[in-house]
Amino acid sequence: MSDPEKYHAFRKIIETEGNAIHPFSLKGSATSDFARDAFTQLMKSHLAKKTELGDVLIPSFAPGCRRLTPRQGFLEALTEGNVRVINTPIQAVTEDGVVIEGGRLFELDVLVCATGFNVIGAPLFSVVGVDGNTLTDRWGSYPESYTSVAVDGFPNYFTILGPNSGVTSGSLTKIIEGVGDYTIKCIRKLQKEDIKSMRISSRAISSWVKYVEVYFQKTVFLDDCRTWYRKNNRIIGLWPGSTFHAVESLRSPRWEDFDYDCGENASDDRLLRWLGNGWSELQPNGGDISFYIEPDYVDKPSAPFPEKIEKWNYRSFSH
């Protein structure tokens, strides 16, 4: 858009509305109940030409149990005279067409598959951790990743859009950015403190998995439906909370949740090797060694309660 202010206002509306619907995911909440009633009435209105389709298409589970998708005239198309809705499960696909349960064959000229893709397994390429263990083996039953970022047994391995990284409200981009910043903080720690590798502890993974399981018990995501972000009765694709909750959780890595390896020849004195030789690189390299009195660098003490400052009411105070 040529008008930056209008474009900003447009983005503001989208982001605000997206972040405002988090209560929608809480089972039995007023927002969830309102959405169920509203969507039911909306679907009925668009199926008015064939009201019997409502029994097939209007779900019994709460909105959000399955991913919501824009309708874009889909329901109206199903009511047209040249369309037949068949909801009997497919038994087989043959060279002639589709066989449904019961053995009936529907001969087809074209078969369009909209079955999605597999999101619950390891990458197609091999990822090998300590002792030769692969990520495929580690995720054999369920994919598990601490705060969607790190996997026990896989040093220096950080993932963007890993298990439990999806959002149900707000912007997924914010989580991608948050994980990127998180990973950079970990890399800087490795570099600055001369650490060979860091890996999340099994204890931290176990605690995270328990937290995830408890959280989703109170949500709509365990209703009776089939969805890509659930395997059996475990949610493996969604973050346990709002987008803001994810961003705040990822802002500050919990270093104590990681195990560190400083190398085979690590010793007590090496643990502080990052202190260097007593010089700052600023000094011998011709830098401004009184920069701290410049207006841009003056260190202004923060208030006793920074979170009470208006600026921090918008973005929670967290390091």
Q: Are residues 165 and 234 in the same domain?
A: yes
> What is the number of structural domains in the chain?
3
Q: Give the domain CATH number at 178.
A: 3.50.50.60
Q: What was the pLDDT predicted at 319?
A: 45
Tell me, yes or no, whether 156 and 276 share the same domain.
yes
In a domain, 224, yes or no: yes
81 & 102 share domain = no
Which domain covers residue 167, as residue numbers? Answer: 130-283
pLDDT above 50 for 269: yes
pTM tops 0.75: yes
Rounded Cα distance between 310 and 39, Å, is 38
Rounded Cα distance between 113 and 150, Å, is 34
List, in order, residues 6 or more apart from 210 with CB less than 8 Å away. none
Residues 174 and 242 in one domain: yes
Tell whether 147 is covered by a domain: yes
Mind giving me the DSSP string for 35-89?
HHHHHHHHHHHHTGGGGGGHHHHS-SSPTTSS-----TTHHHHHTSTT-----SP
pLDDT tens digits, one per residue of 127-164 = 999 999 999 999 988 999 999 999 999 999 999 999 99
Same domain, 162 and 217: yes
Task: Note the pLDDT tens digit of each residue in 221-258.
Answer: 999 998 889 988 899 999 999 998 999 999 999 999 99
More confident of the two residues 166 and 301: 166
Confidence grade of residue 307 (pLDDT, cut at 50, 70, 90) = low
Q: Would 42 be classed as within a structural domain? A: yes
Give the residue ranges of DSSP H helices in 193-272. 202-216, 243-251
Tokens of 262: 């400083």
Q: Is 244 inside a domain boundary?
A: yes
